[in-house]
Amino acid sequence: MMNFVVEARGLSVMRGGHPVLDGLDLAIGAGVTGLLGPSGCGKSTLLRSVVGAQRVAGGTVTVLGQPAGSAALRHEIGYVTQAASVYDDLTVGENLRFFARVLGCPASEVDRVVTAVDLGSHADAVVGRLSGGQRSRASLAVALLGRPRLLVLDEPTVGLDPVLRRDLWKLFHELADGGAAVLVSSHVMDEAERCDQLLLMRDGAVLAQDSPAAIKAQAGTDDVESAFLSLVAAA
């Protein structure tokens, strides 16, 4: 029997009296899982529910066998929001040393994560003077401190150039190969092929969950975007 990293049962979230997520059921295992769908479909809300930062109206979310948001999960999850979660007036290294102390990580962790995100040449640079892509990588470095078992990444490649996007996806798979489960959201359909598993969402509902190859085969299409459109038409 497969041990899932994340499970949601009947997950419901309301906003302004309207459902954002309406009774979602899903299970996410190891590897790189892509959460794809158009902007506003509920991806960020689902990710916040997974990390325990979202008030839910009903249902349950468990992560590594614990209720989402449990104290026991604080060192098990690395979370990167769409906005950079580092201090602009500190250097990359100062940010990482600060968060390492907060998390109780050894100093050696700072060098490890700086190398992992390829920011070694910018470790002494003030974050506020970095490019958008470099700031995103600095936030990812913070999330990697302590070797979390689950990484939750909310559209980490938005606005980045193709080379940096390619390098980040390579890193995501290296992290998964090292034992971490990676849940990464995107609204860019061509990133779907880079995932081991896909969750396709629209209007707060999961349209499909399977490998890219299986979803394309089910829809009888050659690419995930066409498969998504086919699933929308059939819904």
Helix (H) or strand (E) holding 74: none
The radius of gyration of the chain from alpha carbons, rounded to an integer in Å, stands at: 18
pTM here is 0.91
42 phi-psi bin (left φ>0, alpha ψ -120 to 50, beta other): left
> Where along the chain do its domains lie?
6-76+149-234, 85-147
Q: What is the pLDDT along the chain (235 residues), one digit of tens a residue?
A: 457 999 999 999 999 889 999 899 999 999 999 999 888 899 999 999 999 999 999 999 999 999 999 999 989 999 999 888 899 999 999 999 999 999 999 989 999 999 989 899 999 999 999 988 889 889 999 999 999 999 999 998 887 788 888 888 998 999 999 999 999 999 888 889 999 999 999 999 999 999 999 999 988 999 898 998 888 888 7
Question: Sign of the C-alpha dihedral, residues 87, 118, 113, 174?
Answer: positive
Instruction: Transcribe 112-160 into DSSP letters.
Output: HHHHHTT-GGGTTSBGGGS-HHHHHHHHHHHHHTT--SEEEEESTTTT-
Say if domain 6-76+149-234 classifies as CATH 3.50.50.60: no
Q: Which of 140, 123, 141, 145 is nearest to 74 (CA)?
A: 145
